[in-house]
Amino acid sequence: MPLDATGVHARLRERFGEAIGDLAGTGRDASCSVEPARIVEVCQFLRTEPALRFDCLSNLSGVDYPKRNAIQVVYHLFSYPLRHWIVLKVDAKRDDPVVPTVCDVWSAANWQEREVFDLLGVTFTGHPDLRRILMPEDWPGHPLRKDFVEPQEYHGISTSRESLLRT
Amino acid sequence: MTEYPSMESLVRGLIDSGAAPAGVPAWIHQLLAMLIFGGIVVFGFVLPIAGITTWVERRVMGRIQSRIGPNRVGPLGFLQWLADGVKNMLKEDIVPSAADGPLFRAAPYVVMTGFVGSFAAIPFGGSLIIADVNVGILYVTAVTALVVVGILMAGWASNNKWSLLGGIRSAAQIVSYEIPAGLSIFPIVMLAGTLSMQGIIRAQGAAPWAWYLFDNPFTFVAFFVLFVSALAEGNRTPFDLPEAESELVAGFATEYSGMRNLLFFMAEWGNLYVIGAIATTLFLGGWQIPWALDDHPVLRNALQFGVFFTKSYAFVVLAIWLRWTLPRIRVDQMMEMCWKYLVPIALVNFLGTATWMVLFPDGVAPVRWLLLLVAVVAIAAFVRRVAFHIRYARLERRHLSFNPLATARSPG
Amino acid sequence: MGLTGFEVEVQRETEDGGFVTEDMTLSMGPQHPSTHGVLRFVVRADGEVMKEAIPDIGYLHRSIEKIAEKVGWHGFIPYTDRVDYVAAMFCNHGWTMAAEKLGGIEIPKRAEYCRVIADELCRIHSHLLSVGTMAMDIGAFTPFTHAIREREYLNDLFEELCGARLTFHYMRIGGVGWDLPPGWTDKVIHFLDRFEPIVDEYDRLISFNKIYVERLVNVAVISEEEAIDYNLVGPNLRGSGVSYDVRRDDPYSIYPELEFDVPIGRGEVGTLGDCFDRYIVRMREMRESCRIIRQCLRQLPDGPVIARVPRAFKPPAGDCYVRLESARGDMGWYVVSDGTAFPYRCKIRTGSFAAISMTQHVSRDLMLADLIAVIASFDLVAPEIDR
């Protein structure tokens, strides 16, 4: 029986109480925030509960909100047997973003979390292999952050080049 | 005019009849003559054939793949192989700094030796053979196996793990497939009673029903076993794992560039001709022609050469065709096929032929006719199938082709 | 050989007599004829049998997601082509769908039809390449050239439609860039009439060829649970038997009005979820795409092809997640807007990313030649993985 977002949210609230924020947004994009410390429990519950059965982590992205001083990790979950959706959002402090990993719940999280670590600098505690995935291993900084300044050079190769438009 | 069954005997005849200057030991005459004949064969036939086969391959490959193939250099692109040869000779000779220098440089020559050396005993016509050694077919098989050494040298000396893998795969493959190939040669040797190449050919006749291919069911199957094993020994698809382009770039030849690279691949393409020559000698009646033509030795040898060349080259074209049609077999599947299927079948053929010879010392004519009929029916069915496709493809080209210029959008 | 960045645990064994055996570490890539783009695998092998193939990506990372934040809503559309240049229409479609959802824009019916026709033609385009390169990697070079020959006809069609053969930039926020040219629909039908028998010819030539089947069958069997757990999508997921297709089960655009089947792997040759199933699902999908295109061309309505969308497009603040069935599966676009003319964040979740993350798990005890078959059967394209 597919539940809509309010139904899922209700079950989550029932189980976890105040760790789950209010439902924001409409339709497929309705999301609720989750306390970072409890995200693993919430995901386990969502996966194993018979009425919910979210067996697929469809997307795990990170968004940098410097104005709110947070880096948000967004989880889009889908259930193949029951065909319903939910979106979870976890806010981590921007200075030292730490979120527990959900690798043990869904194997798909492994590489997605590595990408968020690489590009935004979020540390996922308990991750089996947290290292950079897209950028070179010795790249300084996290590129997708809003305050990222591109280094002037990398291993002696300049990152700027003179304009090809000669006037 | 005296019949000279080989160039060697021609030289001896010339020396005996006094045509050669006296005072010089006979062996020097023979050595010089051998070098001259060897040079003629190698530079006049073997190397051009290796080059021309690349052209044939590229044209046939092009047609199979719905495209044209080389068509710029010379008529129908016929001089492409010469252009490639010149280009490769002019290329920079790169030897990787960490490679084992002497082995790296020597490997292509070892492979070429193994390939060219077999031509000393391969017949081209009735008298056109450099040396009709009495262990001809054994010599040919042994010398072509020398390429394994060269390939392993190339794979090891390149200092590249992928080359090493390619070299090892190739060595395993060639050495394994020697067994069914050798076992398939035995039935023919038993039937002919001799190992010499000319002897085996002389024991057959010109007409298809006199070929060893149709002699008995066991030799019929032995032919296919030999052909498949020879393809595997020549590193041709479906057995081209050692040089699998998609996996190992070029296998053992990855680090080679320029002329050295070309030598490896000339050996491979030329080897196709050797395979064809061996198959023709053993199974297809070699150079036998229906007319005796005792009084015209030149014409006779020319016709015989034509017949032998056509039959051998048909195998070359067949191998090219197979290469561009079939996918590649994985190495463990290839080993399985050799040891679990081909070797038992070859053994059965060996024993079967021996039994057949004991039971029917002169052969059984009805069986020959039956096998010939089977082959004719198979070829006819195949031609019918191919003709259908050729007709369909031609029709398509005429009626359904797009003209991209006609689809240009009109301005405004 | 020093491996950049990460250490590979090499197993050493000392047998009796002091004979030390060690795994061989090979680096496959980044330049390699068959890794479908610039990928690298560090393979730890015991001769021919692999213990592990660790993928190392990032060689094609062009920071497209960051570029979105700089070039604005309209300006980003050509960049989306480059996210997956083998199936560029889907990327265009995903981005424009997300922008329209955020901006609350309704696009004309004819535009939807044009989009779906372009999408399905692009699906055939992409699958032809996938099937062709897979055959080439297994060693049969001829099906590749035949696939490219068919692709040339599609390239001509696309060139007439939008001026480009590979990176189309056909769709705009609010519809599509250009209407279908006059006579184009006849050419498409002409192409489909010619193409459908060719798919059958492909099956005769390579799909059920004994050697080909032997190479693919029972290689890298992925069960349903594993596939869902690792978030495989598209033909990879359907090859494992999961009957899920975004076009049918979560429809967008005009797919509710179209009738088509969704082929799934049945394990008819070999085990369910092996490389062969993933391959044959793609072959069958090409036929279904032909069917969809014919229906669209029949039902094509008249009207404008683009809605009025302001040049300075400023959707209200918010986020949205849209999905569409790309050639490589469910492509997810998570787009966050902050009310300005520039997107705040764009995250593209592609099918190849999940598939390559699975390679390490799947490659245990496969042979080196099988790794190639696995990569080809997952239909990895490096630009989609690295963005």
Length of chain B: 412
The residues, ordered by sequence, that sit 6+ positions from B14 with a Cβ below 8 Å of its Cβ are B20, B29, B33
Q: How do residues C265-309 score in pLDDT, each as one tens digit?
A: 888 888 888 999 999 999 999 999 999 999 999 999 999 988 988
Cα separation, B144 vs B114, whole angstroms: 5
Task: State phi, psi for C59 to the nearest 5 degrees.
Answer: -75, -20
Q: What Cα–Cα distance (Å) separates residue B121 from each residue in A106, B100, B310?
A: 68, 34, 18
Angle at CA of residue B34, ends B11 and B274, nearest 5°: 115
> Would you say residue B412 lies in a domain?
no
Domain that residue A119 falls in? 5-158
Cα separation, B360 vs B191, whole angstroms: 11
Interface test with C, best of B169, B320, B330 (most C CBs within 10 A): B330
| C215 touches B at CB < 8 Å | yes
> Would you say residue A122 lies in a domain?
yes
CB contact residues (below 8 A), chain A span 14-43, against chain C: 25, 28-29, 31
> Would you say residue A167 lies in a domain?
no
Of chain C, the percentage scoring pLDDT greater than 70 comes to 97
Rounded to a whole number, what is the distance in Å from the CA of B286 to chain C's nearest CA? 32
Strand A20-24 relative to strand A31-34, pairing:
antiparallel
CB contact under 8 A, C139 and B327: yes
pLDDT top residue among B38 and B395:
B38
CB contact under 8 A, C211 and B324: no
Q: What Cα–Cα distance (Å) separates residue A167 from each residue in A160, A161, A162?
A: 19, 16, 13
User: Measured between beta carbons, which residues in chain B are less than 8 angstroms from residue C26?
Assistant: 161-162
Q: What CATH number should be reported for the domain holding residue A114?
A: 3.30.460.80
State the CATH architecture for C64-386. Orthogonal Bundle (1.10)
Give residue C113's pLDDT band: very low, low, confident or very high (50, 70, 90).
very high
Of the candidates B64, B169, B237, the beta carbon closest to that of C139 is on: B237
What amino acid occupies position B272? L
Mean pLDDT in residue range A34-59 = 90
CB contact under 8 A, C24 and B161: yes
> Would you say residue A15 lies in a domain?
yes
Of the candidates A31, A106, A111, the beta carbon closest to that of C229 is on: A106
| C217 touches B at CB < 8 Å | no
Provide the domain count of chain B: 1
User: Measured between beta carbons, which residues in chain C are less than 8 angstroms from residue A25?
Assistant: 318-319
| C3 touches B at CB < 8 Å | no
Three-state DSSP class for residue C41 = strand
Length of chain A: 167
Q: What is the pTM of this model?
A: 0.89
CB contact under 8 A, A137 and C321: no
Three-state DSSP class for residue B392 = helix
Q: Is the pLDDT of residue B403 over 80?
A: no
Of the candidates C32, C181, C367, the beta carbon closest to that of B330 is on: C367
> Would you say residue B43 lies in a domain?
yes
Please state the ipTM of this predicted complex.
0.91
Of the candidates B66, B328, B409, the beta carbon closest to that of C145 is on: B66
Domain that residue B96 falls in? 7-387
User: Measured between beta carbons, which residues in chain A are less than 8 angstroms from residue C249?
Assistant: 83
Cα separation, B167 vs B157, whole angstroms: 10
| C8 touches B at CB < 8 Å | no
DSSP state of B369: H
Q: How many CB atoms lie within 10 A of CB C98?
A: 28
CA dihedral (B243, B247, B250, B256) in degrees, to 10, reads -140
The residues, ordered by sequence, that sit 6+ positions from C106 with a Cβ below 8 Å of its Cβ are C100, C307
Q: How do the domains of chain C map onto residue ranges?
A: 64-386
CB contact residues (below 8 A), chain C span 315-374, against chain B: 367-370, 372
> Would you say residue B301 lies in a domain?
yes
Provide the domain count of chain A: 1
Rounded to a whole number, what is the distance in Å from the CA of B284 to chain C's nearest CA? 28
Strand A85-93 relative to strand A70-78, pairing:
antiparallel
Q: How do residues C7-57 score in pLDDT, each as one tens digit?
A: 667 777 777 677 788 888 888 877 777 667 888 888 888 877 888 888 888
User: Measured between beta carbons, which residues in chain C are less than 8 angstroms from residue B249?
Assistant: 32-33
Of the candidates C65, C319, C386, the beta carbon closest to that of A29 is on: C319
Q: How do residues B202-221 score in pLDDT, each as one tens digit?
A: 888 888 888 888 888 899 99
Q: What is the 3-state secondary structure (H, E, C) of B214-273?
A: HCCHHHHHHHHHHHHHHHHHCCCCCCCHHHCHHHHCCHHHCCCCHHHHHHHHHHHHHHHH
